[in-house]
C-alpha cells in the first residue's frame, strides 16, 4: 500500500452543514413513540453519536437497563424512517456551511482522500449529505451505526479509508475536521491532527482549550486550509 498522502476525515453536522432542528425533531419523536416518554431536554447532542444520545436519554428517564439494547435499535430505526419521510422539510431547513463546496471540490480534483467521521448513523448521514450532493466526496467513513464511541469510530474510519483507497495512512498523516471538542478528542485518541471550526455550537476560543492543531472560524480561507490539510508533520 502507498503511504504518500494525507487523509481528511470530516464531521457532518456543524462542520459541513446544518439541518436546522429537523434531525433532532425526528429523533425526539422516535424516542417518544417507542418509549412513551418525552425526550429529556437536558441531553445535549453536540458531538455525540446517535446511540450515545439515546443512551443518555435512557439514563435521564431511568429507563430499564435490561431493555436498552433492543429499544435503542427500535428508536434509531424509527428515527431513520422519520427523517426519510421528512425529506422536503430537511431540504428546506438545511444550510451548506461557508467554504465547504469550494474546499471539497478542490480536494476532490486533486485526489486528496476524504472520508467521514460522524456520530450519525450511515443512513441518516447519507440523507443529510444528499441534500447538497456531497455523498460523492465520501465513499467511506465511520458512523454512529458502527459504534457509540466516537474515538473508536475514528479508527474505523481510518481502517475503511485504508482499504478503500489502497493506502496505508499513518494516523499522523490524518486530519480530523470538526466543530466540537469530541471531534478533537477523537483525533487525539488515534494520533491524528485536528482542525476545529467555529461553525457549530462552539466558538473557536473555546475549541482552542482542547488543544487542536489548528482552528478556523469557518472553511472559507481555501488557500490556508488546503495548505494546512496538505502539510506533512
pLDDT of residue 226: 95
Q: What is the pLDDT of residue 138?
A: 99
pLDDT of the residue at 176: 98
Q: What is the pLDDT of residue 1?
A: 52
The C-alpha cell of 21 is what?
432542528
- Residue partners of 88: CB distance under 8 A and separation at least 6: none
Domain formed by 7-19+95-229, architecture:
3-Layer(aba) Sandwich (3.40)
Q: State residue 4's pLDDT score.
A: 59
Alpha-carbon distance of 86 to 104, in angstroms, equals 26
* Residue 133 grid cell: 450532493
Using DSSP bridges, classify how beta strands 95-96 and 17-18 pair: parallel, antiparallel or unpaired.
antiparallel
pTM for the model: 0.96
Name residues of the chain where pLDDT drops below 50.
Answer: none
Q: How far apart are CA 114 and CA 146, in angstroms?
A: 18
Amino acid at each position: 500500500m502507498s503511504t504518500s498522502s494525507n487523509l481528511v476525515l470530516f464531521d457532518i453536522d456543524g462542520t459541513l452543514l446544518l439541518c436546522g432542528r429537523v434531525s433532532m425533531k425526528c429523533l425526539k419523536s422516535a424516542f417518544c413513540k417507542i418509549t412513551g416518554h418525552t425526550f429529556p431536554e437536558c441531553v445535549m447532542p453536540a458531538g455525540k453519536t446517535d446511540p450515545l444520545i439515546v443512551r443518555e436519554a435512557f439514563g435521564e428517564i431511568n429507563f430499564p437497563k435490561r431493555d436498552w439494547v433492543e429499544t435503542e435499535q427500535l428508536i434509531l430505526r424509527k428515527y431513520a424512517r422519520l427523517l426519510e419521510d421528512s425529506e422536503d422539510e430537511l431540504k428546506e431547513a438545511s444550510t451548506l456551511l461557508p467554504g465547504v463546496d469550494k474546499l471539497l471540490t478542490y480536494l476532490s480534483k486533486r485526489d486528496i482522500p476524504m472520508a467521514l467521521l460522524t456520530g450519525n448513523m450511515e443512513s441518516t448521514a447519507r440523507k443529510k449529505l444528499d441534500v447538497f450532493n456531497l455523498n460523492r466526496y465520501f465513499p467511506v467513513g465511520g458512523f454512529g451505526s458502527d459504534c457509540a464511541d466516537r474515538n473508536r469510530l475514528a479508527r474505523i474510519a481510518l481502517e475503511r479509508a485504508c482499504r478503500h483507497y489502497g493506502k496505508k495512512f499513518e494516523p499522523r498523516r490524518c486530519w480530523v475536521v470538526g466543530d466540537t471538542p469530541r471531534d478533537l478528542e477523537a483525533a487525539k485518541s488515534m494520533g491524528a491532527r485536528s482542525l476545529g471550526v467555529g461553525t457549530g455550537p462552539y466558538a473557536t476560543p473555546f475549541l482552542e482549550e482542547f488543544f487542536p492543531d489548528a482552528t478556523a472560524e469557518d472553511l472559507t480561507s481555501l488557500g490556508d486550509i488546503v495548505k494546512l490539510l496538505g502539510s506533512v508533520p
